[in-house]
Copies of this chain bind each other. A is one copy, B any other.
Amino acid sequence: MSARRNHDREFVRTFFTSPTAVEGEDDSAKMLRSAATLRGMQAPDIWVPDNEDATAPSMRDEGAENIVEVVAEHGSEFPGEIHPRVVWHRDDPGTRYRGFEHMRRIADPERGAIQHIDGFVIPEVGDIDDWKKADEFMTIVEHEHGLEPGSLAMSVVVESAQAELAMADLREEMGKPTNRLERLFMLVDGEVDYTKDMRAMTPTGSLPEWPELRHNTSRGASAAGLIAVDGPYDDIRDVEGYRERMTENRAKGMLGIWSLTPGQVVAANQAPLPPETGYWLLDADGREVELREDDGRYVYGGDRISLEESGGGYVLRVGADERVLDGEELREELLGLTEYVPSMDDIVGSMAEFEAAKEAGKGAIAMSRSSTVVVDGIEAEITADRMWDEATYQAAMTPVRLFQDIYENRPDQHDELVEMYGEDVVERAMNVG
């Protein structure tokens, strides 16, 4: 069986952490208070009041109190889910005990916060038996406070080799009668601590890419019906790098990412949404370049590729390679160098077209897209064909289901979504599938 998803959200784009108590401020909960008022694209899908690494160890008892106070006051208005991170460590019972105590305090219904809290994030978990300890503490907290059993979601930060291995066992372990691991919600990578645990080193001290960890996290999430979220991207000024990381992640099925600032939240909330307008990419001698649209034609403006007419044919130069081509060959060659990035409108249109074809008894249809590409003033008409069958349709559904999940769960983003796509596209996207 496919794993059942047990939570409201099926997709998470953003996991935004805030320090719970900052020393030396008049109001130590200042950062929490400011995060609690975020709305629209600046507000994350998941807000994580972080009573672990973002908060100094000496401030964490106060941090737990701040969480209660701020969430009780602002939680009902906050548009995303709220999942505080408490302290935990596979190697240290003292830390685990403290995390347990913080959860108990935060979850006391008399104090008015737990009504707005969706679950807790447990860092530094070890192997699966360690995950079960955290699960049991949540069960006890639910029991003590009369909360519905299993109602507190549990998310973990995967930052050790042990935890990476544990993700392969989730599907089996989640069915066992002596735990409530069905409360699991997100698997979040924590690459800084993982790098330490793996004892990895790079010359500059930058983090390794860890592609296998991210694959295994995404796979573990898929097999167990959970949501995969990548760890923090430290270089806050490097917006381009953050976007590239997210593009890589999405190709792995890891659709969410940690955000350290409201600016990163905006970038990460938008990144997985298909663009408003489709466009063509050209492989210009190994570098991917977006073609500029000009009056319905797509123009390459760089000098890595050049094209000229010559004796009835064409000479195409790509880097150091030169080819003499006739018109048909030129179109073939340019088709091979280009790829189309569909807009939301394009995707919804293709899906509707396939649905109609299916209705009419066809199993597979060809989708065509024609465009005029211009290099050095010379125009060429190219046509890309793609066969769509049920599997293609299902795979194309992912960005649409993501959109639908956002639209249903984040009314505070409706205006921005409508502004981006237009009423019509939004409505069609909500009705397809």
- Report which A residues bind B (CB closer than 8 A): 1-2, 23, 53-58, 90-91, 126-127, 160-162, 164-165, 168, 171-172, 192-193, 195-206, 208-209, 211-213, 215-216, 218-223, 234, 238, 247, 250-253, 255, 272, 281, 302-304, 320, 336, 339-342, 361-363, 386-387, 389-392, 394-399, 402
Contacts and interface: CB of A to CB of B under 8 A. Distances in A.
Contacts of A220: 161
A336 B303 CA distance: 24
Given A161-B222, A168-B168, A201-B255, 17 more contacts: A53-B363, A55-B363, A56-B361, A57-B363, A162-B171, A200-B250, A200-B398, A201-B250, A201-B398, A204-B281, A205-B395, A205-B396, A208-B252, A212-B215, A212-B216, A212-B219, A304-B320
Contacts of A192: 391-392, 395
A139 B161 CA distance: 29
A192 B395 CA distance: 7
Given A2-B90, A234-B387, A391-B53, A204 B398 contact: no
Nearest to A91: B2
A305 B204 CA distance: 22
A251 B57 CA distance: 30
Closest 6 CB pairs of A and B: A198-B253, A161-B222, A56-B363, A200-B253, A161-B223, A208-B251
A341 B304 CA distance: 31
A339 B206 contact: yes
Contacts of A387: 234
B238 A336 contact: yes
B395 A165 contact: no
Contact of A398 (B171, B196, B251, B361): B196
A25 to B, nearest CB: 14
Give the one of A57, A160, A165 with max B CB within 10 A: A165
